[in-house]
Amino acid sequence: MILLLIIIFGILLIIVKYILPTFIRYLQLKKDYQNISFLPFSSIPFVGNLHLIDHRPYIFFQLMCRLSHECQIKEKGIFCLWYSLSPVLYICSANGLETFINNSKQLIKSFDYIFLQPWLKTGLVTSNNDKWRTRRRLITPSFHNTELLHGYMHIFNEQSFILADRFNKYSEQSYKTHDLYPCISACTLDIIAEAATGTHLKAQLDGEHNDFVQATVRIGDIINKRLRSPWLWPSCIFNRLPIGREHTKLLNILHSFSRKIIEERLVTFNAKQMINNDDDDDKKCTHRLVFLDCLLTQMQEKKLSFDDIHEEVDTFMFAGHDTTAAAINFFCYLMGCYPDIQSKVHTEMDMIFENDRNRPCTIEDIEQMTYLDCVIKECMRILPPVPFISREAQTDFIYRNQIVRKGTTVSIFIYGIHHDESVFPNPKTFDPERFLDNSFNQNQHSHYAFIPFSAGSRNCIGQRFAGLEERVVLSTLFRQFIFRSTQTIDQLHLSMDVILRPHVPIQMFIERRSL
Ligand code: HEM
């Protein structure tokens, strides 16, 4: 009898403490978001729109694009999807975005970033609140240090030439198509590894035999799969499955490799300090500085610990690798779709480099790349490497007359914002000139209408680095090659992983340009 009473009491407690408040909040949010829930008829009580989330990620992406377009036509700028009892709001218009993206109280990342934490712990991408603020303040100067950034030009050039050599082999088989992504991704991995840590990873030369390279590529696939599969979210289930065990094995490879790199650099760093403290100028060390040296200096000043540095190094490897690879791959693909524009890029490169296809690219060259600059921007508008970012609302706020409640996940749908026809007329038309004339800049919302690197204080810290890297790699490739694509964008079956990914690999013909 007593046991029965305890059980009844327990059940009542759970109902009163958890189920009832959740249900009341659900009803409240249902009411608050009814005007922006565009799929009310397909929303099943307690299931929401979950059943619409097709296991094929590109079908979900198509749904997102359709809803975003519908929402822009209705001039709402925001729509809601229900994941069971939880709503996720998607902002797909630049108008009003500044109230959220630039608000210092709204910088907290949403729940899904938690799946990056086993790898990145709480580095810049995944940390929040004071930890993020302090870190960002400490790390920003290194990414704004022009001398340091320009010092990376030799890395960008060296790796671009290796990439061009590999493409050269493909061009010898110009009768068939190639998936260039693995080569491009190995190149950007080599670049970030050397710039961040001073390590010569040799992913381009020896990638198949390098456990770290393989692990970096594979863990990305696993994280994306987990994000798309709610049944893999609870760690107690995930860790017991083969995919979870593989994840743990990869983490060990990644963490022990980056730990070793930092330890080795620390030894050289300390030795260098000793020499530099020495009065003898002849002995002073001249080896090139990398981001890791800046972090080690902070460690010496007791502002960062070894573990802090470890998570930031892993973060740079993650954030600086796939993003730039996607941008470069999409650029080559889009040039293959638009031969007239590609030919203008070739002309600009020939003019700047005076037909010299083998000399390294300099900062002065980059300053002259006005047309390439517009094409890069138009590529990132049409195919933004990071298609969305998410935060959790920390306070109630109003977005264009729509109340957004504290605790709601708010996704900024960058892809949708870049395809808003009120800002970019004929958004599917590839037109780099949009970024040349003033029409786009004159638009009152232009500041937040083109945000491939996000915006506000939590924007991409690596934006300048990525900009230089892309220009060196692309100017090297487009001095030497012609690309031809055979697939339309629709045929790529785009899907929203952490980065925008073609579900069907991009296949391109590649030819050497005649002299
Ligand atoms: C074309 C290349 C790149 C694109 C499109 C890109 C885009 C972005 C975007 C959209 C964000 C915001 C993410 C969010 O709010 O969740 C971001 C953040 C970040 N990016 Fe990039 N990124 C690129 C290259 C790089 C590179 C090369 C590095 C490092 C060297 C880097 C390091 C970071 C870091 C550390 C953050 C987190 C910043 C913070 O929260 O304070 N990114 N990036």
Residue 454 Cβ contacting ligand 1 at under 6 Å: yes
What is the Å distance from ligand 1's center to 152 Cα? 18
Q: What is the pLDDT of residue 13?
A: 83
Q: Is the pLDDT of residue 64 over 90?
A: yes
CB distance 452 to ligand 1 below 6 Å: yes
For residue 88, the CA-to-ligand 1 centroid distance in Å is 23
Name the H helices within 422-462. Answer: 439-442, 446-449
Tell me phi and psi for residue 356, to 5 degrees. -85, 115
Query: What are the DSSP calls for 231-244, one per residue?
Result: GG-SHHHHTTSHHH
CB-CB contact of 212 with 254 (8 Å): yes
Ligand 1 near 139 CB (within 6 A): no
Alpha carbon distance, N-terminus to C-terminus of the chain: 94
Taking CA atoms only, the protein residue closest to ligand 1 atom 40 is 125
**How much is the average pLDDT of 162-166?**
97
Q: 397 near 103, Cβ under 8 Å?
A: yes
C-alpha span between 487 and 218 (Å, rounded)? 26
- Cβ(29) – ligand 1 distance below 6 Å: no
Q: Is the CB of 389 under 6 A from ligand 1?
A: yes
For residue 127, which atom of ligand 1 is closest to its CA? 40
Ligand 1 mean position, distance from CA 125 (Å):
8
Ligand 1 atom with least separation from CA of 136:
41
pLDDT digits (tens, 9 = 90+) for 302-316: 999 999 999 999 999
Say how far apart CA 63 and CA 504 lie, in whole Å.
Answer: 18
ipTM for this prediction? 0.99
Atom of ligand 1 nearest to the CA of 195: 30
Task: Give the model confidence (pLDDT) of 120-151 as tens digits.
Answer: 999 999 999 999 999 999 999 999 999 999 99
Residue nearest to atom 9 of ligand 1 (CA): 453
Q: Confirm or reject: Cβ of 315 under 6 Å from ligand 1.
A: yes
* CA 452 / ligand 1 centre spacing (Å): 9
**Domains, the chain, ranges and CATH?**
1-93+387-419 (3.30.43.20), 109-386+420-512 (1.10.630.10)
pLDDT per residue as tens digits for the range 196-209 = 999 999 999 987 77
Nearest CA to ligand 1 atom 13: 389
Side chain identity at residue 214, one-letter code: Q
- Residue 453: CB within 6 Å of ligand 1? yes
Q: Is the CB of residue 136 below 6 angstroms from any atom belonging to ligand 1? A: yes
**Is the distance from CB of 52 to CB of 42 less than 8 angstroms?**
yes
Q: How confident is the model at residue 285 (pLDDT cuts 50, 70, 90)?
A: very low
Measure 453 CA to ligand 1 centroid, in angstroms.
Answer: 6
CA angle, 390 as apex, 385 and 392 as ends, to 5°? 170
Report the Cα 355 to chain-centroid distance in Å. 34
Residue 71 among known ligand-binding residues: no
Ligand 1 pocket mutation pick from 460, 468, 470, 496 by most atoms within 8 angstroms of CB: 460
Report pLDDT for 280.
Answer: 52
Confidence (pLDDT) at 282 = 46
| Paired tokens of 315 | 């973060």
Give the integer Cα–Cα distance in Å for 465 and 291: 11
Q: Given this model, what pLDDT does residue 287 score? A: 63
Smallest CA separation from ligand 1 atom 23, residue: 323
Across 55-59, 242-246, 476-480, 484-488, least confident range: 55-59
CB 156 within 8 A of CB 364: no
Q: 31 Cβ partners below 8 Å, 6+ apart? A: none
Q: Is the CB of residue 493 less than 8 Å from the CB of residue 58?
A: yes
Cα–Cα distance between 104 and 183 in angstroms, integer?
39
Confidence of residue 41 (pLDDT cuts 50, 70, 90): low
Decide: 430 and 382 in contact? Cβ < 8 Å: yes
Q: Could you give the CA distance from residue 227 to residue 121 in angstroms, rounded to a whole number?
A: 17
Residue 17: pLDDT band by 50, 70, 90 thresholds? confident
Ligand 1 and 320: CB distance under 6 A: yes
CA of residue 463 to ligand 1 center, whole Å: 7
Ligand 1, atom 15: closest residue by C-alpha: 389
Question: How high is the pLDDT of residue 48?
Answer: 79
Q: Greater confidence, 103 or 378? A: 378
472 lines ligand 1 (CB under 6 A): no
Q: How far is CA 348 from CA 116, 165, 328, 366, in A?
A: 41, 22, 18, 11
Q: What is the pLDDT of residues 382-407, one digit of tens each?
A: 999 999 999 999 999 999 989 999 99
Higher pLDDT, 23 or 162: 162
- Residue 466 in contact with ligand 1 by CB distance below 6 A: yes
Say yes or no to pLDDT of 211 above 80: yes
Higher pLDDT, 45 or 206: 206
- HSE at residue 322, side-chain half, CA atoms within 13 A, is 19
Rounded to an integer, the average pLDDT of 246-270 is: 94
Residue nearest to atom 20 of ligand 1 (CA): 460
Identify the weakest region by mean pLDDT among 60-69, 272-281, 346-355, 424-433. 272-281
**CA–CA gap between residue 220 and residue 188 (Å, rounded):** 15
Given a cut of 50, whether residue 284 has pLDDT beyond it is no
What does the alpha-carbon distance between residue 422 and residue 308 come to, in Å, rounded to a whole number? Answer: 44
Atom 41, ligand 1: which residue's CA is nearest? 458
Is ligand 1 within 6 A of the CB of residue 410? no
Q: How far is the CA of 462 from the centre of ligand 1 (A)?
A: 6
User: Which amino acid residue places its CA nearest to atom 16 of ligand 1?
Assistant: 389
